[in-house]
Structure 1
Amino acid sequence: MRLRNKPGAQEKLDSYPQYIIANPVEHKGKWHEVFNNDNPIHIEVGTGKGQFLVGMAKQNPHINYIGIELYKSVIVSALDKLIEEDLPNLCLLNVDARELEEFFAKGDVSQVYLNFSDPWPKVRHAKRRLTYKAFLQSYENILIDNGEIHFKTDNQGLFEYSLTSFSEYGLLLKYISLDLHNSDFEGNVMTEYEEKFSKKGQRIYRCEVKYR
């Protein structure tokens, strides 16, 4: 995926250390000190422009949220939303998801969100999918015991692949919807992509899985 660079993106990220955690490795095993409370921590891997996590943080002030986004040109949009809302239970990391275990210790995280991840449709790129077994192992290594992954996508192929990957890894399927917006699921917070795709009439797939 090729993204256009945003001039001044790094400078803006550097200007808001209260929202963008510059040296996350320093907080490994003690993230509760960042939030000054012992509330559960949920992370979104690939947080994009931040609409989902900002909505979740507003809806659930008793939960701490951390958004993980690799691209500076994207995470600055999430930062703009966070600056506007000034949410004390949300911060952002401009890091690579493949390095999660560098920043989080076992038990630091209670829940992982994967929303509209890049499907990497070519077979040779399967290892890059965020539901590939190596990523599932990484999530397990930072989650509490019986921690969960909540996954949403518009891509049927990725959803089917992910269900298989979850099953083969030994995860317990708690919830599944093959058409989220026409289901009885309550409290859904949409991402930017979700709004865009659902307006076009595309089906949204969602599932919740649990480590055991």
Structure 2
Amino acid sequence: MAHKKLQRFQEIKTFPNVFEMPENMAQRWTKHFNNQHPLVLELACGKGEYTVGLARLYPENNYIGVDIKGNRIWRGALTALNEDLHNVAFLRTPIEQIQQYFFPNSVDAIWITFPDPQLRLSKAKKRLTHPRFLRLYQQILQPNGVVYLKTDSPNLYQFTKTVINLFGLELLQDYDNLYAATNLLPEHTIKTHYEQLDIAQSNRIHFLAFKLNQTLPIEKDVELKKLIEIHGTD
């Protein structure tokens, strides 16, 4: 297994659609895609199933999967190359550094699909829908940009709804049981490796879409912590 990981790390260095913590990348995306189409990110993309799936559905957009795990990115990047998908790229970097690689207001939407829910309260700040991360997304999202969350974790779902309500963010879609809905779009039904593992064993998939249309004052983070302690959204 270790040998395979090392081999994949070496292979992605040769992939034209993978960028590993590059300098001055913000000004290079247009050149890479050779167009100015809308830019959509999948954060903590894992094997990139959603990045590739969205790119298949909507060739008029450019999609970038972001993850720190190079051996996971390898799978999605290779699939995109094999299918000749020119609207797909992958960025290997920690999510905490995401604002370094995109100009302000340059990203149209962000997808977060089946991230680690970081269930312990002491790790709440590592949740990708914590205000700490949302403030980073605000730096690169367009004013009407949308954040999408798809998760099997009821804890992360409720936590994110708490964040949305506390900061007065605009909620666009809310599915407590996504696949029970009758008005689903094709992008709702893309399944990742981690979805199929059913780690949370909750027997349902949760989905949220919201806009970062308000400022996120740091002072409210203390209130957020108290809310999740009281109401059990941890």
Give the TM-score normalised by the residue count of structure 1: 0.91
Check the 8 A contact 1:44/1:53 in 2, yes or no. yes
5 Å matches for 1:8-23?
A: 8-16=7-15, 18-22=16-20
Please name the residue that 1:202 is paired with. 203
Tell me: CA distance 1:29–1:172, structure 2 relative to 1, closer, same or farther (3 Å).
farther
Distance (Å, rounded) in 2 between the aligned partners of 1:108 and 1:142: 6
Please name the residue that 1:66 is paired with. 64
- 1:193 equivalenced with 2:194 (yes/no): yes
* Aligned-residue RMSD, C-alpha: 1.9
Q: Identical aligned pairs, as a percentage?
A: 27
Tell me: CA distance 1:45–1:4, structure 2 relative to 1, closer, same or farther (3 Å).
farther
Gaps of 5+ in 2: 214-234
Check the 8 A contact 2:20/2:93 in 1, yes or no. no
Partner SS state of residue 149, structure 1: strand
Check the 8 A contact 1:43/1:111 in 2, yes or no. yes
Please name the residue that 1:157 is paired with. 155
- 1:76 equivalenced with 2:74 (yes/no): yes
Amino acid at match of 2:7: G
5 Å matches for 1:34-45?
A: 34-45=32-43
5 Å matches for 1:102-117?
A: 102-117=100-115
What does the per-residue CA deviation read over 1:78-118, in whole Å, with 9 as the maximum and x for residues that have no partner?
A: 22222221210000011100001111121121100000010
Check the 8 A contact 1:43/1:65 in 2, yes or no. yes
Distance (Å, rounded) in 2 between the aligned partners of 1:42 and 1:157: 26
Please name the residue that 2:132 is paired with. 134
User: How many pairs does the alignment contain?
Assistant: 208
- The structure with the largest alpha-carbon Rg is 2
Distance (Å, rounded) in 1 between the aligned partners of 2:124 and 2:2: 25
Larger CA deviation: 32-41 vs 120-129: 32-41
Distance (Å, rounded) in 1 between the aligned partners of 2:28 and 2:97: 17
Gaps of 5+ in 1: none
Give the TM-score normalised by the residue count of structure 2: 0.83
What does the per-residue CA deviation read over 1:119-138, in whole Å, with 9 as the maximum and x for residues that have no partner?
A: 11111101111011110000
